[in-house]
């Protein structure tokens, strides 16, 4: 490769990275979530994981969205469940850090990812009845959902009554989607 071409690729990579970073911060700054006090107090810290209170978290969410948009249907369902599981873990860590409001929003995002996975796996299952790969995917989603619900129930006492009503509403939607999938 020529030196010019290598330099061009480096400049292109840096430009794309800066564009993604600036776009993610712009999206975050325009988000309705900035009204929540904990979202205004993002921090920069060095740890193994980047939690939703970290200043670089919006960048990670941008990459998650990109991966979801480029994935095929089956891979997308696996990613939705993986992202939901990660958010459940993050919410638990935020509770440990006594950041209940941010933990609540993280739990609700996890629940929404599970609900989306349920909708998509139901659609895939309806189109491919008795396909062993799809049946395995259905089992995977349902098993992950059971684990999620246990964690949420363990942490309900950390949230306000209003928060618990929202979680209950999301859980009711999940139960309806689950029942539709199992029919």
Judged against a pLDDT cut of 50, whether residue 25 lies above it is answered with yes
pLDDT value at residue 77: 94
63-78 pLDDT per residue, tens: 999 999 999 999 999 9
Q: Tokens standing for 181?
A: 């999938």
Which residues in the chain belong to E strands, given as ranges?
none
Proportion of the chain above pLDDT 90, given as a percent = 41
The model's pLDDT over 111-165, given as tens digits with 9 standing for 90+, comes to 999 999 999 999 998 888 788 888 899 999 999 988 888 888 888 898 999 999 9
Cα 1 to Cα 11, 12, 15, 73, distances in angstroms = 15, 16, 20, 37
Across 119-148, b (16+ Cβ under 10 Å) vs e yields: bbbbebbeeeeeeeebeebbeebbebbeeb
Res 24: pLDDT: 59
The per-residue pLDDT for range 87-106, each reduced to its tens digit, is: 999 999 999 989 999 999 99
- Helices 100-127 and 73-96 pack at an angle, to 10 degrees, of 160
Two tokens at 135? 């049946």
For 11-58, give the DSSP string. HHHHHHHHHHHHHHHHHHHTSGGGGSHHHHT-B----SS--TTBTTHH
Alpha helices in the chain (DSSP H): 3-29, 37-40, 57-70, 73-96, 100-127, 132-155, 161-182
118 neighbors 172 (Cβ within 8 angstroms): no
What is the 8-class DSSP label of residue 159? S
Percent of the chain with pLDDT over 70: 83
The encoded tokens of residue 3 equal 């030196």
**Stated pTM of the model:** 0.72
In the structure, what pLDDT confidence band is assigned to residue 46 with cuts at 50, 70 and 90? low
């Amino acid at each position: 490769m020529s030196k010019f071409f290598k330099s061009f690729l480096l400049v292109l990579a840096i430009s794309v990275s800066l564009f993604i970073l600036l776009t993610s911060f712009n999206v975050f700054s325009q988000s309705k979530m900035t009204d929540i006090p904990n979202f205004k107090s993002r921090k920069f810290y060095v740890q193994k994981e980047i939690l939703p209170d970290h200043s670089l978290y919006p960048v990670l969410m941008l990459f998650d969205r990109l991966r979801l948009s480029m994935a095929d249907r089956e891979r997308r369902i696996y990613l939705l469940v993986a992202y939901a599981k990660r958010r459940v873990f993050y919410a638990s860590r935020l509770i440990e850090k006594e950041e209940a409001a941010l933990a609540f929003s993280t739990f609700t995002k996890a629940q929404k990812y599970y609900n989306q996975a349920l909708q998509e796996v139901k659609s895939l299952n309806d189109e491919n009845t008795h396909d062993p790969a799809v049946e395995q995917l259905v089992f995977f989603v349902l098993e992950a959902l059971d684990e999620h619900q246990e964690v949420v129930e363990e942490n309900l006492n950390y949230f306000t009554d209003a928060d618990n009503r929202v979680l209950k509403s999301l859980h009711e939607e999940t139960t309806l989607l689950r029942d539709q999938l199992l029919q």
